[in-house]
Homo-oligomer: A and B are copies of this chain.
Amino acid sequence: MNSLSDEYFMKQALAEAKQAASEGEVPVGAVIVCDGRVIARAHNQTECLNDPTAHAEMLAITAAANVLGAKYLTGCTLYVTVEPCVMCAGAIGWSQISTLIYGTSDDKKGFQQFAPKALHPKAIIKKGLLEDECANEMIAFFRNRR
């Protein structure tokens, strides 16, 4: 998968984040790609589902497992606009997703600080893809809520 493809898929995740913002949800979006194809997409729905576990990554993992009929998402890539939290990183670990690509870091809740070994030991992690666009979604959202 080349960087153009990565950017294409991250833009899909960004579209999910924008959808979240339009619904009053913290704007985080995620897509899961298998064999070059999006098999699941989701955005944060903690408010509308009234569920603290309904993060974009969690919903996307559950959906992807349904699509593949498999509990393990080996070989899949997860694109997410914001660094996953501890919960989501744990789920990514359980799902055995092979590659995680995220946009902007989350210094307050991100897994890299609080659960750095949560992912599968062979998982590839890339960060900073479309970082400014991903960060700006969050910044704009919280600015508007103040």
* Residues in A lying within 8 Å of B, measured CB to CB: 46-47, 50-54, 58, 61-62, 65-66, 69-73, 85-91, 93-95, 111, 114-115, 117-118
B51/A71 in contact, CB under 8 A: yes
B53/A86 in contact, CB under 8 A: no
A70–B40 Cα gap in the complex (Å)?
27
Determine which of B51, B70, B86, B94 lies in contact with A50 in the assembled complex, contact meaning CB atoms within 8 Å.
B70
A116–B18 Cα gap in the complex (Å)?
33
B residues in contact with A88, CB < 8 Å? 87, 90
B61/A94 in contact, CB under 8 A: no
A53–B55 Cα gap in the complex (Å)?
12
A54–B54 Cα gap in the complex (Å)?
12
Q: Which of A73, A93, A115 has the most CB of B within 10 A?
A: A115
The distance from the CB of A105 to the nearest CB of chain B, in whole angstroms, is 17
A58/B66 in contact, CB under 8 A: no
A94–B90 Cα gap in the complex (Å)?
14
B residues in contact with A70, CB < 8 Å? 50
The distance from the CB of A54 to the nearest CB of chain B, in whole angstroms, is 8
Determine which of B51, B58, B86, B93 lies in contact with A89 in the assembled complex, contact meaning CB atoms within 8 Å.
B86
A69–B50 Cα gap in the complex (Å)?
7
B90/A71 in contact, CB under 8 A: no
A65/B90 in contact, CB under 8 A: no
